[in-house]
Structure 1
Amino acid sequence: MKSVAFHNLGCKVNGYEMDYMQQILQEKGYRVVPFDEKADIYIVNTCTVTNIADRKSRQLLHRAKKMNPASVVVAVGCYVQAGGEDTLKDASIDLAIGNNKKKDLIPILEEFLSNKEKAEHKEQEEAKENKTLQGRTIIEIGHTDEYETMVLHRTAEHTRAFIKVQDGCNQFCSYCIIPYVRGRIRSRKIEDILDEVRRLSRNGYKEVVLTGIHLSSYGMKSGNDFTMSKLLWLIQCLQQEEGIERIRLGSLEPRIITEEFVKGLFECSKICPHFHLSLQSGCDEVLERMNRKYSTKEYYEKVCILRKYFDEPAITTDVIVGFPGEAWEDFEKTKEFLQKVGFYEMHIFKYSKRKGTPAAVMDKQISEGEKALRSNTLLELEKKMSQAYRKMYLHKQAEVLFEEERRINGRNYQIGHTREYIRAAYETEENLSGQIRKGMLTDFLMSDILLFQPQIH
């Protein structure tokens, strides 16, 4: 049977879909090898969220073809969905598969392979058509309401399982291409989710992480009325599942945070007090140009609701610096707001111009040098705030799910995460992977890892 190598770029949803593609090919008998080895087939699950992501996607596709010119290089996902005709001209790509077609990887791949010898003798235009099996492997994603059903038995991570429950986005932020390459919101059936969670639980997973392109839209048919979201109901259903001890949430839309929603979360004992509320800017004028549909005042109110119910929850976020028209005063407002909120972790991104989005043609584009300066400033702030949050948990009780063994300074440690997603280390020769232990966080082992001492039973 042919060998196949995988490489994934981008978000947790991409990661889930890559796990599924690898799973079904293995079940079919394909032999999986590392990406840097010679393979018969290379599959790159691409990303297009930024220009850098586009470039990385192209580089990996070219690298694959260079490693084995006779191989079949398969470009999958957002990059090919967004790139259109220009992407199909790339000689390193043999087969292109768009979003909502990943579930059909095996029949698509096998049809392509059966036609490959004939395709080699066709003219260039015909060969380009063969890259999409005459246009059948990339659909008009904006017009589908079909959820692309996939079911995992295992994931790349051995202790926590990422569960994709939703796809698509209706927000149309002015900088973002994702609604165009992922389509409108659509949700997975609750029965499919519960079946997958039960299967993963039987395989030893203790924690599930709910993820989606716009997770807060779970269960919604259209629009932006998040009182219609069924995400809380989904969490309440998962709360009843035996074997699963933790439920962690992916990125949340700030507008879903209400007293009713958070009270419902608090009543679910398995929910992890770790909430990622995407912010993007701490300046109202910039938020408006971004089409983010909330103000900093409203965002802060949401943070206060979370802290009203949960004791020192981990609140994390995303921030874009250098958005078109962001004056230095706007950046200073953002910095002040970030300090006011006091995040545990922040993912800092330099604005990346995406062709086809409103922001790409806005006036007053910021230079790359200025973006780098602002990014570095916030990265330093993030480091300080993250350290302060971890320090706050010293000498407090914690619960750690152990995930891996790691040797640090000549000593063996078991490494895991608390419910707040603080990395913790316990010095032991025992393999604790997949086990949950309660104990105390006692000191810093490294700047981003706290020492953990389990309770003695």
Structure 2
Amino acid sequence: MQFKVFGCKVNKYYTDNWLNSEYLSDKTGIFVASCVVTDKAKRKWIKFVKQAVRELRNPPPSVPPQNGEGGFAEPKIFISGCGAFKKGKAQEDFFDIYPELAEFQDKIVVLGEKPEELEREIDGETKKEKKNQSPLEREMSRNTLKGTSETEGLGIKNKIKKLPQIYTKKFLLIQGGCNSFCTFCLTVQKRGRHYFRDKDDIVQEILEFEKNGGKEVVLTGVNLSAWGLQDTNDTSVSRFAELLEYILKNTSIPRVRISSMGPEFIDEKCLEVFKETRIYPHFHYSVQSGSSKVLKAMRRHYDGKYMRDLLEKTKNLKREDGVEVSVGADLIVGFPGETQKDFEDTYNLVKDGLITKVHAFPFSAHTFGESVPAGRFPDQVSDTEKKERMWKLEAIADQVREDFIERNIGKTFKVLIEVVKGSSLCPDGHLPPSRETQTSPSPSLVRRGNNQEIKWKGWTENYIEADEKTFEIIEGKIEKNTIVIGKLK
């Protein structure tokens, strides 16, 4: 089963789960994790699906059909992610929302968020259904949309019993959904309401990853710093530090990385835990804007002053390992009603060095597919102005990032090697969509030979990319999923 992931780390987590699921164990084709964060993001995966369907309909001559016993079902495009579901369930009106895909219904299977829920439904079929339908017919009639029945076809031999972990890192969901209804976001409609996992379940999954040699776990979620709370709108209390302390106490995983956090739930106790040396010192916040006026229109639970204060506290954290903290941020440019002064409030957060890794994108009115409230707000910012502001923000972000890296040259770091020459992995640890299988390179393929330098890639603790050209290894072996010690150069 090939796969392609669009969007966030939550999609990466569920991609891993789906590819390891019983449901897909006898299926062939391409699994697509879709994203709806912007109209541009929607168009990317739709374009990919169209191309993939055409390839499935016109396979290379070298792939002969394998009908009969031992053959496999016709390849399909299995779509999950926010573009495929509503409140976590497979979206029944999927082809109405995306009519450009309607002609491909015979090749598309629309899935929900969680494979275990689909499998429970399959296991819960009545005896009457079991008698009158084959297991395959039951699966397809209950869990996919009309026109996606499974039939014998090409029989590409790619049966999977249990896939290996598909990422060097372990993306671990600790929380899902959201109750906050931000005016620019489709999350509540797509992922459903807020929930969180039991801390013992989280620790158990980390321990299993450790047992298999894992070195880094990435805590992820839709609003992950709201872990432990009953409502994401209640910002009077935070339990996030409690979870982090529990993980540190009950596991020995070398790296605990935290993905994008809601800043409203980061209290002084969280900041103290962030100083722990096993906590990856790159802290990413869903800032969105530095303007109090814009944040209010977005229905965020904090203002510009709170955000600036938190960024300053995070950036100035003093850790025992002496590593300079990296601070990342999601930023939206051109939200309806954003004036030049509002934009400067955001711009200055970066210019003042409070954010060292920027993920910025222009506001999307979501005129394509499903819509968001802010798309109907007055005072929409023109595309021309959005582009101008994006250019300015990206320019200062690049400069601040370069300054941050420059300050760290000559310092000693630990680097987790994720890619080695001869590996088929992409830089973020996943398989290119053009490949059907993925294996780790043999050590014999990554030794020095004929004066050719080994090529590898990894990341320092504070999220600086390191490779054979920029990092001098002092201690450790160049192998995938190995931590080495050295200096940036």
Question: TM-score range with shorter-chain normalisation?
Answer: 0.7 to 0.9
Which residue matches 2:312? 304
> Equivalents in 2 of 1:327, 1:176: separation in Å?
21
How far 1:87 sits from its partner (Å)?
Answer: 3.6
Instruction: Select which of 195, 198, 213 maps to 2:207.
Output: 198
Q: Aligned residues, how many?
A: 402
Which residue matches 1:16? 13
Secondary structure of the residue aligned to 2:457 is strand
> Equivalents in 2 of 1:23, 1:131: separation in Å?
21
Structure having the higher helix fraction is 1
Structure 1 residue identity aligned to 2:29: I
> Is 1:91–2:103 an aligned residue pair?
yes
CA contact (8 A) 2:417 2:481 kept: yes
> Equivalents in 1 of 2:247, 2:33: separation in Å?
29
How far 1:347 sits from its partner (Å)?
Answer: 0.6
Taking a change above 3 Å as real, the CA distance of residues 366 and 238 of structure 1, as seen in their structure-2 partners, is same
> Equivalents in 2 of 1:107, 1:56: separation in Å?
31
How far 1:328 sits from its partner (Å)?
Answer: 2.6
> Equivalents in 1 of 2:237, 2:331: separation in Å?
27
Taking a change above 3 Å as real, the CA distance of residues 41 and 173 of structure 1, as seen in their structure-2 partners, is same
Secondary structure of the residue aligned to 1:79 is coil
Which residue matches 2:358? 346
Taking a change above 3 Å as real, the CA distance of residues 274 and 118 of structure 1, as seen in their structure-2 partners, is closer
Structure 2 residue identity aligned to 1:274: H
Secondary structure of the residue aligned to 1:68 is helix
CA contact (8 A) 1:7 1:43 kept: yes
Q: Which runs of 5+ in 1 are unaligned?
A: 31-39, 120-126, 134-151, 444-457
> Is 1:391–2:406 an aligned residue pair?
yes
> Equivalents in 1 of 2:134, 2:97: separation in Å?
18
The aligned runs of 1:31-430 (5 Å cut-off) are 40-69=28-57, 71-81=75-85, 85=93, 86-87=96-97, 90-93=102-105, 94-100=108-114, 103-104=117-118, 114-115=136-137, 129=146, 154-158=164-168, 160-226=169-235, 228-266=237-275, 268-310=276-318, 312-354=324-366, 355-406=370-421, 411-425=453-467, 426=471
Taking a change above 3 Å as real, the CA distance of residues 223 and 166 of structure 1, as seen in their structure-2 partners, is closer
How far 1:247 sits from its partner (Å)?
Answer: 0.8
TM-score (normalised: structure 2): 0.74
Taking a change above 3 Å as real, the CA distance of residues 260 and 427 of structure 1, as seen in their structure-2 partners, is closer
Taking a change above 3 Å as real, the CA distance of residues 191 and 87 of structure 1, as seen in their structure-2 partners, is same
> Is 1:436–2:444 an aligned residue pair?
no
Secondary structure of the residue aligned to 1:421 is coil
Which residue matches 1:142? none
CA contact (8 A) 1:342 1:385 kept: no
> Equivalents in 2 of 1:334, 1:223: separation in Å?
24
Taking a change above 3 Å as real, the CA distance of residues 424 and 171 of structure 1, as seen in their structure-2 partners, is same
How far 1:5 sits from its partner (Å)?
Answer: 2.9
Q: Which runs of 5+ in 2 are unaligned?
A: 58-73, 124-129, 151-161, 423-450
> Equivalents in 2 of 1:26, 1:81: separation in Å?
17
Secondary structure of the residue aligned to 1:59 is helix
Secondary structure of the residue aligned to 1:399 is strand
How far 1:362 sits from its partner (Å)?
Answer: 0.7
Taking a change above 3 Å as real, the CA distance of residues 92 and 439 of structure 1, as seen in their structure-2 partners, is same
Secondary structure of the residue aligned to 1:289 is helix
Taking a change above 3 Å as real, the CA distance of residues 304 and 186 of structure 1, as seen in their structure-2 partners, is same
CA contact (8 A) 1:155 1:162 kept: no
Taking a change above 3 Å as real, the CA distance of residues 430 and 419 of structure 1, as seen in their structure-2 partners, is closer
How far 1:167 sits from its partner (Å)?
Answer: 0.4
Taking a change above 3 Å as real, the CA distance of residues 59 and 241 of structure 1, as seen in their structure-2 partners, is same
Structure 1 residue identity aligned to 2:48: L
Which residue matches 1:446? none
How far 1:229 sits from its partner (Å)?
Answer: 3.6
Structure 2 residue identity aligned to 1:11: C
> Equivalents in 1 of 2:325, 2:202: separation in Å?
26
Secondary structure of the residue aligned to 2:33 is strand
Measured against aligned partners, the alpha-carbon deviations of 1:136-182 in whole angstroms (never above 9, x if no partner) come to: xxxxxxxxxxxxxxxx9853222x21111110012221111111111
> Equivalents in 2 of 1:374, 1:274: separation in Å?
26
Structure 2 residue identity aligned to 1:97: L
Measured against aligned partners, the alpha-carbon deviations of 1:388-426 in whole angstroms (never above 9, x if no partner) come to: 11111122222222222259x963243221111111234
CA contact (8 A) 1:21 1:103 kept: no
Structure 2 residue identity aligned to 1:28: S
CA contact (8 A) 2:350 2:400 kept: no
CA contact (8 A) 1:209 1:249 kept: yes
> Equivalents in 1 of 2:136, 2:457: separation in Å?
47
How far 1:8 sits from its partner (Å)?
Answer: 1.8
How far 1:78 sits from its partner (Å)?
Answer: 1.3
Measured against aligned partners, the alpha-carbon deviations of 1:173-222 in whole angstroms (never above 9, x if no partner) come to: 11111111111110112222112111111111111110001101111122
CA contact (8 A) 1:415 1:423 kept: yes
Measured against aligned partners, the alpha-carbon deviations of 1:59-95 in whole angstroms (never above 9, x if no partner) come to: 2222222122364333223112257521475232433
> Equivalents in 2 of 1:308, 1:78: separation in Å?
36
Structure 2 residue identity aligned to 1:66: R
CA contact (8 A) 2:285 2:328 kept: yes
Measured against aligned partners, the alpha-carbon deviations of 1:28-48 in whole angstroms (never above 9, x if no partner) come to: 355xxxxxxxxx433222111
Between the aligned residues of both structures, percent identity stands at 28
Structure having the higher strand fraction is 1
Which residue matches 2:159? none
> Equivalents in 1 of 2:139, 2:200: separation in Å?
42
Which residue matches 1:36? none
> Equivalents in 2 of 1:196, 1:433: separation in Å?
21
CA contact (8 A) 1:154 1:203 kept: no
